Amino acid sequence: MSEPGALCIVIMGVSGCGKSTLACAVAARLALPLIEGDELHPPHNVALMAAGTPLTDADRSGWLQAIAQALAGAAQGPGAVVACSALKRSYRDRLRAAAPQLRLVHLAGEPALLAERLRARSGLHAGLAAAQPAADTGAAGGRRIRHHAADHADTGCAGGCGVRERCAGSPVIDARTFRLDGRLALVTGSSTGIGLALAHALALSGATVVLNGRNAARLEQARASLAGAALPVHARAFDVDAAPAVQAAVADIEDTLGAIDILVNNAGIARRGAFHELAAQDWRAVMQTNVDSAFTVSQAVAQRMVARRRGRIVNICSVMSEVGRPGTAAYMASKGALKMLTKDMAIDLGPHGITVNGIAPGYFKTELTAPLVGDEKFNAWITGHTPVGRWGELRDLAPVIVFLASDAAAYVNGHILVVDGGMTATL
């Protein structure tokens, strides 16, 4: 990527001026992500606006930081189009520092229309505050977007209202469909390998990610690698096998960073050995990390998601949820169990606005599989049994996790999406 960064456009104006409609059209025309800046207000600001209290510079600081953070990440990628309220000069300067290639567009509106919309907006904020769950203490972002639909119901929208709940006449797919702006994602076992790749993909799509692992030093390296790319990332070192540690960590994350919108259960281990020779402690260790931890973390997070009536949970299963190889009894049993746990979670949590799906990766190139990739005989077996003729690359998983975490997968629930190059389709 060449300096000074990708083009970012901020379209601003008072309520009712049509900024969201224009921003959506510009984003679609330029094939850029759309960020609804006004939906990044924290709950404190929403409460103040509901009470008719003007926001001070201090109140707006966190909101501006969220927009600046989103712009900084977008500037490192494809760029973005942002729709937000009118900004005074000092605010604009703050955003320019985050995205050097920033272009600002200020829209005006008819005074009578603006007055009418502002009166309607005061009622919206009151309803919005009433709908805000007490436990949701993080950035507003996409966590309250569905409540904004009423604000745009009278705009005659043809696809540019800027809310994720599609209004009549909006396109099925637009620049926002796969965006995760304003959402918080916890990815377990994300210090390296597949977990880190999944977290990276979610962050590139706009989510704030929380990395997890047992090794604090390795976890910090992973966090620094994403932070170095101007991506919104945090790290929490805790043992997913220990229920008290999980409960404390989830509470801390929600108290300090906000509500967890997306959970990815990726933590897992393997212990090889023929069934009749497998040590009991190895069996228990694999089942505890691969199955019990998914249950423990999911339950701690889901109990909070149920209260909010929204959420996405993705369990990382395996092709060995479906097929097997010699010497993998514990791993096969654990991944098969995780597959069925995923389906039950989807059944029980679906009525509460939470979707639960799984990803079943095939054989992927990671640090852990490097010796197998270098094994000429095993490598030939993999490429020979995979119709596409190669190992999976971590980039092959990125669009899959983003899809399942996004609004595009709102009606996908209880599904195990196999990503194996066709391996399980063959004999």
Work out the percent of the chain whose per-residue pLDDT is above 90. Answer: 51
Q: What is the pLDDT of residue 25?
A: 80
Q: Is the model more confident about 23 or about 379? A: 379
Of 63, 39, 305, 42, nearest to 180 by C-alpha is: 39
Long-range Cβ pairs for the range 158-166 (8 Å, 24+): 159/24, 160/20, 160/21, 160/22, 160/23, 160/24, 160/25, 161/20, 161/21, 161/24, 162/20, 162/21, 162/23, 162/24, 162/34, 162/36, 162/83, 163/36, 164/407
Lowest mean pLDDT among 28-42, 257-271, 345-359: 28-42
Residue from 91, 331, 363, 411 carrying the catalytic annotation: 331
Q: pLDDT digit string (tens) for 259-296?
A: 999 999 999 888 888 999 999 999 999 999 999 999 99
Q: Is the model more confident about 121 or about 391? A: 391
Q: What is the pLDDT of residue 16?
A: 61
Q: What is the pLDDT of residue 109?
A: 52
* CA dist list (Å): 261 to 108, 136, 141, 183, 410: 35, 10, 11, 6, 13
Segment 54-76 shows an average pLDDT of 84
Segment 134-140 shows an average pLDDT of 35
Set out the domains of the chain in order of their start, with CATH numbers.
Answer: 8-152 (3.40.50.300), 184-425 (3.40.50.720)
Lowest mean pLDDT among 100-109, 193-202, 236-245, 389-398: 100-109
Please say if 411 is a catalytic residue.
no
Lowest mean pLDDT among 32-41, 330-339, 410-419: 32-41
Q: pLDDT digit string (tens) for 198-247?
A: 999 999 999 999 999 999 999 999 999 999 998 999 999 999 999 999 99
Residue 161 has pLDDT above 50, yes or no: no
Residue 399 has pLDDT above 60, yes or no: yes
Residues whose CB falls within 8 Å of the CB of residue 89, separated by 6 or more in sequence, listed in order: none
Residues whose CB falls within 8 Å of the CB of residue 209, separated by 6 or more in sequence, listed in order: 184, 185, 186, 187, 190, 199, 202, 203, 226, 231, 232, 233, 234
Residue 377 has pLDDT above 80, yes or no: yes
Of 102, 67, 101, 60, nearest to 84 by C-alpha is: 67
